[in-house]
Structure 1
Amino acid sequence: MATPAAAPAPPNPNPVPDDPPPPPQEEEQEEATEPESEPETSQPAPTTSIEPTPSGDEESESDDSSSVSSAASSAPAPAAAGSAAERPFPVAKDLLHISFNQDYGCFAAGTKSGFRIYNCDPFREIFRRDLAAEGDGSGGGGIGVVEMLFRCNILALVGGGDNPHYPPNKVMIWDDHQSRCIGELSFRSPVRGVRLRRDRIIVVLENKIFVYNFADLKLVHQIETAPNPKGLCAVSQQPGSIVLVCPGAQKGQVRVEHYGARKTKFINAHTSRVACFALSQDGRLIATASTKGTLVRIYNAAEGNLLQEVRRGADRAEIYSLAFSNNLQYLSVSSDKGTIHVFNLKINVGSTPNDKPTPAPEPEVPHISPPLSFIKGVLPKYFHSEWSVAQFRLHEGEQYIVAFGHEKNTVAVVGMDGSFYRCQFDPVNGGEMLQLECYNFLKPSDQP
């Protein structure tokens, strides 16, 4: 791996103490497969946070999407054939990627012409970049991965689609205040996913994961995984010790790296391949789903023991996303069945982040022998499974990702069909969720 003579220091709006990286595992260091990273040496300008634009300013912004930025600029957008003002507005088929930021307050969309950032509550577009119109890449504008760093001006971009703006084997570190890339990481195979925290960059390839220090882009760890075409990976976000979850080397296994404790934990979560997982922000809980998509299991990340098992349904489904609520009381699930489920987590998480989560005790009720107790061992398992307490029904077959909103008992849903929903569930009575908002986030920003 090549490192710059003067390494860039990407802006960090909320610095946290940098964890000492663990010693590289000798059995995982393979010189032949080390990435060819070539970070740029240019120094970025001081950073400021990206906040949603007030509605009064939003109305005065230019209709030319290439000029809409998080940083104010008096320079006019370049007038060229095929510029953003002349281009038809993208429809859902132009959407390549959607993802929430680390605190679920924003989401990002990668399209065939660039990327856009949105605020969830209240819903509004914050900014967009039409990279195809700017023409500073390989000629296209496709962004297949866009990963935010909370609400600051730093993003990670990977080219995608039929006409990618950047090579799909490179991770570009974009500074939106400078409207350019300030660093890059190159690999010998396509990048499947990127995860960011304030002190680390995690790059996911088909069979490997690379962990970099954000301050100097130095490689601190690499992990061998089972084939991972979806780019599955999750990392804790609270300051302090880093917890990283990725697929293990065996079918149905997840690997948990505890960098603070310098230990690795393997959890044999399912007999089938792992299709989706989520990690709580504090790194204490892991939710996993297999390719069957019927059951979701919640594990203690530190010990690897099963805490709870919930049932999405009785038939197979493809799980698209899992999300914990901030208070760790609920888990939300989306699948190709078009139904968003919210489950009640019966877990004692303790009063401090250092407490070990344990299963909640069963409520004390008088022992009553049910009339059908004699056939309990014969009944299918789903008759005594834990089912969701609330549901929100959308279009079957569409891909949706979910997150819990900042308002109490709310869920945000973003779809690859260009839809955004915000709904509310009743934690006591459950049932169907109440739809609060619905938007087509791909429509032009100047339309109401």
Structure 2
Amino acid sequence: MAALSAYSSPWPEPTPDPNPNPNPNSNTSCGVSSEDQTDQLQSLESFSSMPQDEPDSFSPSIPESNPNYQMPLPSPAESTSSSPPPTLLHISFNQDHGCFAAGTDHGFRIYNCDPFREIFRRDFERGGGIGVVEMLFRCNILALVGGGPDPQYPLNKVMIWDDHQSRCIGELSFRSEVRSVKLRRDRIIVVLEQKIFVYNFADLKLLHQIETIANPKGLCAVSQGVGSLVLVCPGLQKGQVRVEHYASKRTKFIMAHDSRIACFALTQDGQLLATSSTKGTLVRIFNTLDGTLLQEVRRGADRAEIYSLAFSSNAQWLAVSSDKGTVHVFNLKVNSGSARSEPRSTSDPTLPTSSLSFIKGEESIFIF
């Protein structure tokens, strides 16, 4: 179980700090001692003022005169300086896929997707390696885990960072390394190699603990529908996935593949699940409610390592990337709203029609 450490301030409405702490590594900002790494759940201040609706953009409110708040984007002259470029450690999209965050060996950066541009960055003074950075839609709350050769934080801690206050306001400590973190407005999900912890975001109360098979990649997917939490993670057997429906308090186990699970993705409403195995030749789409196999698409005949799966917002398209240097985009025949397999009434005429009956259209985009 995790150990929780409270910080002195709850989550008030963000206001400029007249005396900002210039050192993010300072104990008054985020530091805790090793004695905090226990198995006891401690009380934490209320997080009731956490934003419920994301603003229109990631727009920090601290005055720009605060040098510790926002690092200016480099000019062309600065970009050609002798300082080495940062090393990329982690990339993750926010919940509506409008932004993505990148963790580097110096800090983290936030990018807008359309139009594509860097909108924020923070470089820490010492060390600064961030191995996991998770956004909460477009608000100022992020979850950070250290990473790289000189991590900013211990690898076994999840730091709750408030970028309005330019400091950590809470942390979760574990006895093993954190593999990934998922955020919802009402939940924090922390993934270790063989355990998953589900916390209430309002008070960081532990709600659920799940045992999994060895999960070094930290595979976990969470729905983002309001009032409906669906969590998918590896089961306890090779090729098995576990689906937790928290609203109905139901657990569904799906034997998705004969080989180990390599990757999976969940639709926003949590009704469709796409999975791939370590073979990387087939991708299967399941109904999460009853485990029914709805569709199967073939990426190729050769073994491949699947890097990621992603549904479009309407679940009409599924993108599959692999170590072959390609991204396959499949036109699906399933309907997320009803979670039943049914033909689409329209198709994109620009996509070639496959000779395989279970694929309506497929496009390969080569990445160089």
Q: TM-score, normalised by structure 2?
A: 0.80
3-state SS of the aligned residue for 1:147? strand
Which one of 218, 225, 232 corresponds to residue 238 of structure 1? 225
For the residues of structure 2 that align with 1:289 and 1:268, how far apart are their CA atoms? 12
Contact between 1:201 and 1:211, CA under 8 Å: does it hold in 2? yes
For the residues of structure 2 that align with 1:49 and 1:384, how far apart are their CA atoms? 42
> Which residue of structure 1 aligns with residue 103 of structure 2?
110
Going from structure 1 to structure 2, the CA distance change for 1:5 and 1:309 (only over 3 Å counts) comes to closer
Query: Partner amino acid for 1:98?
Result: I
Specify every segment of 5 or more residues in structure 2 that has no aligned partner in the other structure, as ranges.
15-36, 69-73, 346-354
> Which residue of structure 2 aligns with residue 70 of structure 1?
60
- 1:241-284 CA distance string (max 9 Å, x none): 21000000000000000000101000000000000000000000
More helix by share: 1
For the residues of structure 1 that align with 2:252 and 2:197, how far apart are their CA atoms? 18
Larger radius of gyration: 1
For the residues of structure 2 that align with 1:311 and 1:330, how far apart are their CA atoms? 14
For the residues of structure 1 that align with 2:342 and 2:89, how far apart are their CA atoms? 41
Specify every segment of 5 or more residues in structure 1 that has no aligned partner in the other structure, as ranges.
14-32, 54-68, 79-83, 134-138, 364-381, 396-448
Contact between 1:287 and 1:297, CA under 8 Å: does it hold in 2? yes
> Which residue of structure 1 aligns with residue 180 of structure 2?
193
For the residues of structure 2 that align with 1:314 and 1:233, how far apart are their CA atoms? 27
Identity, in percent, stands at: 66
For the residues of structure 1 that align with 2:83 and 2:40, how far apart are their CA atoms? 37
> Does 383-392 or 101-110 show the bigger shift?
383-392
1:262 aligns to 2:252 (yes or no): no
For the residues of structure 2 that align with 1:88 and 1:154, how far apart are their CA atoms? 33
Going from structure 1 to structure 2, the CA distance change for 1:321 and 1:38 (only over 3 Å counts) comes to farther
* Equivalent runs, 1:84-95 vs 2, <5 Å: 91=85, 94-95=87-88
Going from structure 1 to structure 2, the CA distance change for 1:266 and 1:45 (only over 3 Å counts) comes to closer
For the residues of structure 1 that align with 2:137 and 2:272, how far apart are their CA atoms? 21
For the residues of structure 1 that align with 2:312 and 2:91, how far apart are their CA atoms? 20
Higher relative contact order (CA 8 A, sep 6+): 1
* Corresponding residue pairs, total: 326
Which one of 306, 320, 329 corresponds to residue 293 of structure 2? 306
Query: Partner amino acid for 2:170?
Result: G
> Which residue of structure 1 aligns with residue 362 of structure 2?
389
Contact between 2:234 and 2:242, CA under 8 Å: does it hold in 1? yes
For the residues of structure 2 that align with 1:141 and 1:5, how far apart are their CA atoms? 22
Contact between 1:9 and 1:215, CA under 8 Å: does it hold in 2? no
For the residues of structure 2 that align with 1:231 and 1:281, how far apart are their CA atoms? 19
1:171 aligns to 2:158 (yes or no): yes
Query: Partner amino acid for 1:71?
Result: S
1:119 aligns to 2:112 (yes or no): yes
Contact between 2:259 and 2:277, CA under 8 Å: does it hold in 1? yes
Contact between 2:334 and 2:342, CA under 8 Å: does it hold in 1? yes
**Offset, 1:392:** 1.2
**Offset, 1:186:** 0.1
Q: TM-score, normalised by structure 1?
A: 0.66
* Equivalent runs, 1:47-58 vs 2, <5 Å: 49=54, 51-52=56-57
CA RMSD in angstroms comes to 3.1
Going from structure 1 to structure 2, the CA distance change for 1:71 and 1:35 (only over 3 Å counts) comes to farther
Which one of 346, 356, 360 corresponds to residue 342 of structure 2? 360
